[in-house]
């Protein structure tokens, strides 16, 4: 009986294996295998593991997680009352704003060149050249106008989309509750400041619904749960504490560290800012993502494939 079941299983899997191998060869011939391959980063997130930060950053975060609160405050020349306004301004000028680096927009001439550089325009340009060599001035002018209009229309539409995206980005402004001593009395007071003005050494207050504005060390916590699925892929909020607890294998596993890019699901806390902007854990991941060469999207790949098909027929 078991032999017959095993033979049936082999007969069932054999057609599936042949279909999979044939489909893989078809994708390789079409150069579309990358659209079906599993990305290493996505695979890591699905298994609940985040990509590792650089060795120096990971060591600094783990060291900050292991030291006592007084040591962490002393190392950053801060205290529970927060930084003074003058010291915060000095550090902001030294370290820069608390912003993750974004991809720089291309200059106008380079964007215009990219708008022109596609197989359709190259094919039409080649046809215009052949028409000019054959003394067909009318065809040369018509094809040249088609290429020019196509390039300019794409350039204008992309420019409008970039402006719309920038206007939407400028309308969104995140703030953070920062503890700063009053200039006259020196008593700590909470201020709502733009996130970009945070510096290392600031003391921030966190509550339910807040986005964590920077990489921080928890100083006090009450029923603090963080949603950090953007960093680790965990669907369930993770509880954070003020005490270090046992030694963690990595920064994201430390129970007293919270990171930019995560949000507070419930509870309240005060935290000491350790790293901001591109020096944060999220900033290093963003820098790595920008370093990867971009590939054409599905629509651009389809247009390119049709263009090359026309070129083959023209030959």
- pLDDT tens for each residue of 178-188: 998 877 666 77
Question: Does residue 221 surpass a pLDDT of 80?
Answer: yes
What pLDDT, on a 0 to 100 scale, did the predictor assign at position 240?
93
User: By percentage, how much of the chain surpasses pLDDT 90?
Assistant: 19
Long-range contacts of 35-39 (CB under 8 A, 24+ apart): 35/298
Check if the beta carbon of residue 66 is closer than 8 Å to that of residue 251.
Answer: no
Residue corresponding to tokens 């999207």: 297
Q: Which of 151, 132, 156, 152 minimizes the C-alpha distance to 142?
A: 132
Check if the beta carbon of residue 271 is closer than 8 Å to that of residue 82.
Answer: no
Tens digit of pLDDT for each residue in 58-82?
Answer: 888 888 888 988 899 999 998 888 8
Ramachandran bin of 148, using left for φ above 0, alpha for ψ from -120 to 50, beta for the remaining angles: alpha
pTM of the model: 0.61
Instruction: Quickly list H helices, the chain.
Output: 2-30, 40-46, 55-66, 69-75, 85-95, 108-116, 119-133, 137-171, 229-232, 281-291, 298-314
Question: Does residue 56 surpass a pLDDT of 60?
Answer: yes
Check if the beta carbon of residue 78 is closer than 8 Å to that of residue 272.
Answer: yes
**What is the average per-residue pLDDT within 267-285?**
88
136-146 in b/e form (b: 16+ CB < 10 A) is eeeebeebbee
Tens digit of pLDDT for each residue in 103-151?
Answer: 667 788 888 888 888 777 887 888 888 888 888 888 899 988 988 998 8
First to last CA, the chain: 62
Check if the beta carbon of residue 85 is closer than 8 Å to that of residue 183.
Answer: yes
**What is the average per-residue pLDDT within 41-58?**
49
Q: Which of 235, 238, 233, 234 minimizes the C-alpha distance to 221?
A: 238
């Amino acid at each position: 009986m078991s032999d017959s079941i095993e033979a049936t299983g082999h007969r069932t899997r054999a057609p599936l294996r042949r279909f999979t191998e044939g489909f893989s060869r078809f994708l390789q011939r079409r150069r579309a295998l990358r659209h079906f391959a599993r990305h290493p980063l996505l695979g890591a997130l699905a298994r609940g593991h985040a990509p590792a930060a650089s060795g120096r950053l990971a060591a600094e975060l783990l060291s900050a997680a292991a030291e006592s609160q007084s040591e962490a405050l002393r190392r950053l020349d801060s205290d529970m009352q927060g930084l003074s306004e003058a010291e915060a301004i000095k550090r902001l000028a030294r370290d820069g704003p608390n912003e993750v680096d974004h991809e720089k927009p291309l200059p106008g001439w380079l964007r215009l060149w990219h708008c022109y550089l596609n197989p359709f325009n190259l094919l039409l340009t080649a046809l215009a050249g052949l028409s000019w060599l054959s003394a067909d001035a009318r065809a040369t002018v018509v094809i040249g106008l088609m290429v020019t209009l196509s390039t300019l229309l794409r350039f204008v539409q992309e420019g409008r989309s970039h402006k719309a995206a920038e206007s939407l980005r400028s309308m969104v402004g995140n703030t953070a509750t920062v503890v700063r001593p009053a200039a006259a009395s020196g008593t700590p007071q909470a201020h709502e400041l733009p996130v970009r003005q945070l510096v290392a050494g600031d003391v921030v207050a966190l509550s339910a619904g807040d986005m964590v504005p920077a990489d921080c060390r928890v100083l006090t916590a009450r029923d603090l749960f963080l949603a950090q699925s953007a960093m680790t892929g965990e669907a369930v909020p993770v509880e954070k504490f003020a005490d270090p607890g046992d030694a963690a294998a990595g920064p994201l596993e430390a129970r007293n560290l919270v990171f930019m890019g995560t949000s507070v699901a419930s509870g309240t806390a005060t935290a000491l800012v350790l790293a901001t902007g591109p020096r944060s854990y999220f900033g290093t991941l963003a820098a790595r993502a920008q370093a990867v060469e971009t590939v054409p999207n599905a629509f651009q790949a389809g247009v390119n494939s049709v263009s090359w098909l026309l070129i083959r027929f023209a030959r």
